[in-house]
Amino acid sequence: MTERLEFTESAFEILGRKWNGLIIQSLLDSDRGSLHFAELSRSVHACSDRVLTVRLKELEDAGIIKRVCCPDNGKLGYRLTEKGSSMRPLMSEISRWAAENI
């Protein structure tokens, strides 16, 4: 396997997991830059809370998101790390491609 394929495989281990793309996009779209669990649950409404918890932990372990204390009310929330925020152009291109081709 080429190095390029290995990198692609690694990327899709994260992005290919059901709900991860929607979680990342929801955080990218957040005006505050962070969302509470309940807000993510509403945003990714077809995902059960149990699965959402697992996906958030996976994304946290991958360094894509981090748990934070939300400034608006002090509750626990989630925000993208610098690594996660760097996915903005990628997610925009995926959305554009889907709008044109699906």
**Separation CA 9–CA 3 (nearest Å):** 10
How many Cβ atoms are within 10 Å of 46's Cβ, its own excluded?
Answer: 8
- Please give the chain's pLDDT, 102 residues, in tens: 799 899 989 889 999 999 999 999 999 999 888 999 999 999 999 999 999 999 999 999 999 999 998 666 778 899 999 999 999 999 999 999 999 999
Q: What tens digit of pLDDT does each residue of 19-46 get?
A: 999 999 999 999 888 999 999 999 999 9
- Look at residue 1 in the predicted model and tell me its pLDDT: 76
Cβ within 8 Å of residue 87, ≥6 positions away: 24, 28, 64, 80
How many domains does one find in the chain? 1
In a domain, 90, yes or no: yes
In a domain, 38, yes or no: yes
In a domain, 60, yes or no: yes
In a domain, 47, yes or no: yes
> What domain range includes position 49?
9-101
How many Cβ atoms are within 10 Å of 4's Cβ, its own excluded?
Answer: 8
Total-model pTM: 0.90
Left (φ > 0), alpha (ψ -120 to 50) or beta: where does 31 sit? Answer: alpha
- Look at residue 98 in the predicted model and tell me its pLDDT: 94
In a domain, 3, yes or no: no
In a domain, 4, yes or no: no
Q: What is the CATH number of the domain that holds 20?
A: 1.10.10.10
H or E element in which residue 69 lies: strand 65-69
- Please, which residues bridge with residue 34 across strands? 79
In a domain, 2, yes or no: no
Helices of type H across the chain: 3-15, 20-29, 37-43, 49-61, 82-85, 88-101
In a domain, 54, yes or no: yes
